[in-house]
Amino acid sequence: MTAAEEAGPQSVRVNLLFNERPVRVPYGVTLFDAASWNGIAIDSTCGGHGTCKKCRIRIADDPPVPSSLDIRAYTPQEIRDGWRLACRTAATRDTRVEVPPLTTRPKAATVGVGRQVILRPAVQKRYLELAEPSLADQASDLERVLAQLEDLEPRAELSVLTTLGRTLREADYKVTAVVVDDVLIAVEPGDTTARRFGIAFDLGTTTVVATLLDLSTGTPAGVESTLNKQQPFGADVITRISATMMDPGALDKLQNLARETLAELAQAVCAQGGVEPHEVYEVAVAGNATMTHLVLGIDPEPLGMAPFIMATRLYPEVLAADLGLGGVVHPRGRAVVFPAFGAYVGGDITAGLLASGMDRDARVRLFVDIGTNCEIVLGNREWLLATAAPAGPAFEGAAIRCGMRAADGAIEVVTMTPDDVSLKVIGDAEPQGLCGSGLVDAVTGLVRVGLLDSSGRFITEDEARVRAPGLAGRLRRIGKERVFVLHWRGPGNPAAEDSIYLSQRDVRELQFAKAAIATGWQILLEEAGLEAADVKQVLLAGSFGSYLSPASAIRIGLVPKVPVMRVVSAGNVAGEGAKMALLSLRERAGGLALLEEVRYVELSDRADFNDRFVDQLPFPPG
């Protein structure tokens, strides 16, 4: 590992300005992904391999060094003007990006981790000009419509029939049939074939994200995120399950809060995209098992205690109305709910694996979604192993003395030398606390400069004055506990109690979390008969994992010791998987097929788990 690699990227977030729309993305992702994840449509048909040359963008101010593919794609003048391929340009600094409007009607979309998806959405529309009935042709109204949809062989819903007669006659027998999968859900007057939309939801325990997709083009038409309204019932899934066990009314309340969260997001993205509610014919939901159970009103109690049993792995046919969206999308809109591998490897992970193509790649890859519950999947296109590790709330900022979520004022990057500490704060604001990536960075820095020994204990003040003379003054005590001050609040050198600090107990919390995770992937590697070096790529997924410094993650042993370039941020793969399910029936089937392809490894019944966990507590040698 070179010194540069060791230091890692200077920032874990990059500010971009796409056509004057500001977005914030993990360091190093391509500008194509950065745009796509934020609802900004860029042409692409090659899956991000730089071959279709459609993903044209312009960086007018101080354009980056062109890649060899850029040089083949553009004239020298264009290169000088800042034209680049979005799929080949990484976000490594704050940048202003111009995206030309879409010129083609795409047949494919690039989503997830470089996945090219041929557009074949479940939502199909057909414009029909029907013959008027007569005494010589008394076919029923429905037969008349179905005769034109023979290749789709849909079944009709009762709701279509209630108004079909009036619609046909008022529209002069010129109508558009809306078929979702194998169901005729609507017959609309006139030709509405140009308008069909879906909403992909990433239903997280903390944050919920909705992406409105134009299903005809595969392009996003709106993205919104918000906190899950269930938050007051607890930060993690266990506290929410517990709530349903204490209070018989809590399940209803939690279900309604989840439904309200989805409904508000649906309204927001439709407003953003200029789409009428009835033009949204399908939604897809990727969430962990608890979130999925709760939003569907399924009693989650058996998920919360051994032996951790789901009501179902595969969900039955569900309508958008069953998710509380009846009034904000098409009243008979359908819903795709991602199936789960286990109580703690849920539909969000199924969606994430689909989006990252874990079952398509020949390379052995490790997928790690870091959170209170950490889901880990190892494998390639031949085999896949999955497990869940109970990491605890450290990464969410909970149980950390000065912890906070990754919001404005959170220290997200900590860079440490023996002489000084420098911080990067979200929103460039006065520091308010430490978020998960800052926590990992801080501990990594302290280990690297030697203020923490490999067991995770602060060294003595005397030793500190020798090893890191510029930092020794930051080692303090609050009561009996030793702390390291990251940031003095106010002028001068006030009491440690008022500073933003990292305590000995905080370090222990992180050690427990990373030991649980490392035990998880260690066991999977052993089950597969592999070693860390065999892992060709580590995908850091989820809202926390995506913003983690790969170098720090490696340094403290959160991920296997591989070259830092092999550790990549995969972004919000759950949401990407949900988008894929809306855009392609084939990909949707692929998501289902994953259930058969993944073997779930339960950690909680392994006799050797505790021994292995203790083995993983120390920090690896530098």
Tell me the residue ranges of DSSP E strands in 392-530: 410-416, 421-425, 433-434, 475-478, 481-487, 500-503
Cβ-proximal residues to 457 (8 Å cutoff; 6+ apart), any chain: 504
Tell me which residues touch its own copies (CB under 8 A). Answer: 133-143, 155-158, 161-166, 169, 296-299, 301-302, 306-318, 322, 342-343, 600, 602, 604-605
Min separation Cβ 245 and its own copies, Å: 11
Cβ-contact 40, 18 below 8 angstroms:
yes
Helices (H), 487-572: 504-528, 542-545, 550-555
Strands 481-487 and 500-503: antiparallel
* Minimum CB distance to its own copies smaller for 339 or for 433: 339
For residues 386 and 554, which CB has a smaller minimum distance to its own copies in the complex?
386
CA distance 182 to 149: 11
Closest to its own copies by CB, 143 or 420: 143
Residue 314 identity: L
Smaller CB separation from its own copies, 154 or 545: 154
Would you say 322 or 348 has its CB closer to its own copies?
Answer: 322
Nearer to its own copies, 345 or 440 (CB): 345
The minimum distance between CB 491 and its own copies, in angstroms, equals 57
Which tokens in the block code for residue 378? Answer: 């190892």
- Rounded to a whole number of angstroms, the minimum distance from the CB of residue 162 to its own copies is 5
Write down the least CB distance from residue 163 to its own copies, Å: 6
> What is the nearest approach in angstroms of its own copies to the Cβ of residue 252?
11
Q: What's the helix, strand, coil split of the chain in %, to 5? A: 35, 25, 40
- Amino acid, res. 599: R
Nearer residue to its own copies within complex by CB, 93 or 166: 166
Task: Name which of 72 and 166 has its Cβ closer to its own copies.
Answer: 166
> What is the smallest separation between the CB atom of 475 and its own copies, expressed in angstroms?
44
CB of 608 to its own copies, least distance (A): 14
H or E segment at 464?
Answer: helix 461-467
SS3 13: strand
3-class DSSP assignment, residue 77: helix
Shortest distance in whole angstroms from residue 134 CB to its own copies: 5
Helix (H, G, I), strand (E, B) or coil at 55: coil
Question: Which residue, 347 or 550, has its beta carbon nearer to its own copies?
Answer: 347
Amino acid at 50: G
Number of CB atoms found within 10 A of residue 142's CB: 16
- The full 3-state SS of 12-72, as one line of letters, equals CEEEEEECCEEEEEECCCEHHHHHHHCCCCCCCCCCCCCCCCCCEEECCCCCCCCCHHHHH
What residues contact 615, with CB distance under 8 A and at least 6 apart? 519
Quote the least distance from Cβ 164 to its own copies, whole Å. 5
What's the chain's length in residues? 622
Q: How many CA atoms lie within 13 A of 214 on its CB side?
A: 23
